[in-house]
Structure 1
Amino acid sequence: MVLSKNLVVADVTLVERAAMTCKEKCQLVEITQATIDAATLKGIPSNIDLFKELMLPLTMIAKNIERLRRWEEPHLTISFLAFSYLIIFRNLLPYIFPMMLMVLAAVMLTLKGLKDQGRLGRFFGKVTIRDQPPSNTIQKIIALRDAMQDVENYLQNMNVTLLKIRTIFLAGYPQITTEVAMVLFSSAAILLVIPFKYVAACLLFDFFTRELEFRREMAEKFVTFLKERWNTVPAAPVAVLPYESKVSKQGNQQKKIDEETKKKL
């Protein structure tokens, strides 16, 4: 019951309630920041190990799909293909993504309920990695140099790929541009004429039969042909301008202004 602005019966005042709310939010922020500080590791090798550990579920999924693709366990591959084709030809593809979201939400709520009941243990969800062996300053510098070299190589390869795509798109190599455009037109025509479920079925069949004996040689020849054609694509030219400081830029701008002023006079 509210009697006045700052007088409430059977409850705290508005000022006290605001102070309690602010205190709870501050504690939550401090706890969150503490977890972030604890997860922030020093050193590139430790961060790489942590990244590998966090990506382990996706890595396991990729390895299992690769095992299915290579027919290491034929009965599992046949079962997976039968289930996939059932989804495709029963027109259930539009429902796959919503079902995945529903399953994910159900798993999250189940884990929440089990955690509230104390069935998951105290250290559930904790990520554990091995500490790096002790090393001196020289070893740390060498490890840092190798890591930076790997990053530089990755960026260089990525830049070359993007420059080649730019060359193809802007017709820097007309023959390759024509071939890519014809492939895109053909793909668009196929998707317009043939229902998508048949296209998906053919792509799935191609993906799971590349490693089989009757298709392996043909698939290897096709991949080799694509690599050779990709290697023949030149990269777009890159111009590196000389460095200019702010002082020189301002001086050049002032010279341009003076020249324009003299011309007008």
Structure 2
Amino acid sequence: MAAVSKTRNMIEGFVRDGSFKWLLKNRNPFHEEFEEMKASPSAGKNWIHELSPVANIVVRRCSKILKVPTGQLQENFNAEAIDAIKDPSCYARNFLEYSCYKALSAYTQVSGYMDDRKFRRLTFDMMLAWEVPDAASQPTNTMDELVFPVTELGNHLVKLFYWEEPIKSSIFCLVSTYVIYRGWFSYVVGLVLAFIALFIVITRWFSRGREVDEFRVIAPPPMNTMEQLLAVQNAISQAEELIQDGNILLLKLRGLLLSIYPQASDRFAIALVIMAVFVAVVPMKYLILAVLLEEWTKYSPMRRSSTERLNRRLREWWFSIPAAPVVLEKVNDDKKKK
């Protein structure tokens, strides 16, 4: 009985908390504040490069509580702290602790602060920020630097995909369509591989006798017990969220395939039939061209509004499908008290 109750509670939690996360971009709890900081005219001034992104968010909240700009808060810290505290090796952690202490001192002056959800959220996020206060202490920095060329290429492709520069996007769309239509895609891949090989040969030729540049990695400071517990808790929370999203997907697909929800299953079946007819009748080359043109032009200025409207309707349809039929039952405890 306990196992059944636990399973029921798990499914209920999936339906209540996780069903509306599917088909949305993966966003961490700080995503909205990151977007708000980027859109702010004073984003460059308020961003402290010594701090990690999470620490920047927490310091920004502290500055709002204290009603002073982030830059002014940093100036106050630099004026009050001694040189040993402002040492680069511990500057980020000390400044973060200074900001948190000031904000907590101001917050606790308000009556009923313990019942405030924002206060509890702030203290939890403070502990997360203390885990990685320094920008250089993040283990992802090394990876970010290594994959910087790939990241830049991806950013350019995203700009082309969302038509931030319409002329370049139009040229790229026309060229890629013509290459696939003419059957030159294999030649393009071969030219790219040959170019990479030529680049390696030229680099090797001109780097003879030269020492290889050292790659410096700043070792993160050792974590105490609380920081280790927070790191484990954060990892478990992320894994739990992924498992919940996967279970929501499987439960909804099960409902569609078993026709538990007839109206949604009918639409799903009609869409599959239309796709099957297209795949069977249209030649593969033209099918690929159609998919390419659809994907590369759906965010063009002429189609952006219709694409957003279609995506909104698809999300509404997906959200309308229950993950699983849930019936809440009260468990009667008939145990006699001794």
Whether TM-score is above 0.5 comes out as yes
How far 1:112 moved relative to its partner? Answer: 6.0
User: Which amino acid is the alignment partner of residue 82 of structure 1?
Assistant: L
- The alpha carbon displacement at 1:224 in A equals 0.8
Contact 2:264 2:321 in 1 (8 A): yes
Task: Assess if the C-alpha contact under 8 Å between 1:46 and 1:131 holds in 2.
Answer: no
* Aligned residue among 151, 162, 167 for 1:75: 167
Residue 209 (structure 1) aligned with residue 301 (structure 2): no
Local SS of the residue matching 1:132: coil
Change (3 A) 1:114 1:223: same
* Matching of residue 138 in structure 1 with residue 226 in structure 2: yes
| Residue type at the aligned position of 1:63 | N
Distance apart, 1:212 and its partner CA: 3.2
Write the distance in 2 (CA, Å) between the matches of 1:211 and 1:179.
25
Task: Give the residue type in structure 1 aligned to 2:152.
Answer: M
Change (3 A) 1:86 1:102: closer
Q: What are the superposed Cα offsets for residues 156-206 of structure 1, whole Å, 9 maximum, x if unpaired?
A: 112222332233233333332222222121112123333334333333333
Name 1:187's counterpart in structure 2.
Answer: 275
Q: Is the deviation greater in 179-188 or in 160-169?
A: 160-169
Shift of 1:53: 4.7
Aligned counterpart for 2:178 among listed residues 86, 102, 124: 86
Q: In the alignment, is the contact (CA less than 8 A) between 1:53 and 1:127 conserved in 2?
A: no
Contact 1:163 1:236 in 2 (8 A): yes
- Alignment of 1:107 with 2:196, yes or no, is yes
Aligned residue in 1 for 2:264: 176
RMSD: 3.6
The 8 Å contact of residues 161 and 299 in structure 2, kept in 1 or not, is answered as yes
Task: Describe the superposition over 1:222-249 as per-residue Cα deviations: whole angstroms up to 9, x where unpaired.
Answer: 11111111112233579xxxxxxxxxxx
1:155/1:117 CA distance change after superposition, 3 Å: same
Give unmatched runs, 5+ long, in structure 2. 1-130, 327-338
Contact 2:177 2:293 in 1 (8 A): no
Unaligned runs of 5+ residues in structure 1 are: 1-42, 239-265
Cα offsets for 1:110-154 (capped at 9, x unmatched): 526744874495447x76555435653323322332232122212
State the distance in 1 between where 2:184 and 2:306 align. 32
Please name the residue that 2:318 is paired with: 230
Change in Cα spacing, 1:199 to 1:191, as seen in structure 2 (3 Å) is same
Cα contact 1:89–1:197 (8 A) shared by 2: yes
TM-score (norm 1): 0.57
Give 1:57 deviation, angstroms. 4.4
Inter-partner Cα distance in structure 2 for 1:168 and 1:121: 63
Looking at structure 2, the residues matched to 108 and 115 of structure 1 have their Cα atoms a distance apart, in angstroms, of 11
AA aligned opposite 1:139? E
2:249 to 153, 157, 161: 161
Retained in 1: the 8 A contact 2:163–2:301? no
RCO comparison, higher one (Cα < 8 Å, 6+)? 2
The 5-angstrom pairing of residues 1-20 of structure 1 reads none
Structure 2 counterpart of 1:149, which letter?
S
Letter of the 1:70 counterpart:
Y
In 1, the alpha carbon distance for the partners of 2:189 and 2:276 equals 29
